[in-house]
Amino acid sequence: MKGVILAGGTGTRMHPLTRITNKHLLPIYDRPMVTYAVEAMVTAGLDQIMVVTGGTHAGEFFRLLGNGHDYGVEQLFYAYQERPGGIAEALGLAERFVGGDRVLVMLADNIVERSIRPLVERFAAQERGARIVLAPVADPEHLRNLGVPELDGEGRVIRIVEKPAEPPSGYAVTGLYFYDPSVFEVLPTLRPSGRGELEITDVNNWFIERGTMELDVLEGFWGDAGESIDAYYEVNDFVRALRRRG
């Protein structure tokens, strides 16, 4: 299994911080945000990783991560997204890197408390398809700004609704996605959303419609540090407290 870390986008929700750098290079406590995603993958057993980024600060990722060896990465690759065309478009840039392997896709602004190795192992044992990772979110207003799954009585996902006015469950779809190689057959069929982007929710609903989507629910803390300035500082506060306890 290979890992793809998506670290592009314009970071408009993080202005003015992102006027001077890519949001995934902003510090979370004592080190740049993107290094948490790298660490999560390496500790889960993935040692071939691609970082997809874009914009005027892309070269700073190479300055930070280099060949990846200092972070435990055996082979580290880079891809450049020329314009902010969405998560699904960014994933498409990794097609040749992934080849015929399975892939874990992680948004670089997602911070998780616990090891994701059990999630990787469960997907490796899954026959085919995809796997999403959910996190409980108690605040309905917060859910209205996220992707939210609708679940059936057996806990299987029926569909994912993006930014629902009435959230169909109390869970958010986090920025960790697992796919088999068929994901690269789906991407060329997508059409841009109203935002002019190729949406990862459309990819996930494609697998759901074919009955090949599984799910996990995260234990411990999950935060999207790129969601807003407030979310960024909330994640910082959590990580700082966790590191001081540890």
Residue ranges for the chain with pLDDT beneath 50:
none
pTM of the predicted protein model: 0.96
pLDDT, position 85: 79
pLDDT of residue 138: 93
Please name every residue paired with 3 in a beta bridge, in sequence order, or none if there are none.
Answer: 49, 104
Give the per-residue pLDDT at 246. 67
* Domain 2-245, CATH homologous superfamily name and number: Spore Coat Polysaccharide Biosynthesis Protein SpsA; Chain A (3.90.550.10)
Q: pLDDT tens for residues 209-233? A: 999 999 999 999 999 999 999 999 9
Q: What is the CB neighbour count within 10 angstroms for residue 213?
A: 22
**In the 8-state DSSP scheme, what is residue 180?**
-
d(CA 137, CA 205): 21
pLDDT digits (tens, 9 = 90+) for 71-94: 999 999 999 998 877 899 999 999
Residue for token pair 């494609």 = 206
- Residue 187 is predicted with a pLDDT of 95
- Say what the pLDDT of residue 17 is: 80
pLDDT value for 19:
82
Q: Which two tokens stand for residue 9?
A: 């986008």
On the CB side of 29, how many CA atoms lie within 13 Å of its CA?
14
What pLDDT score was predicted for residue 115? 97
Count of other CB atoms within 10 angstroms of residue 219 = 12
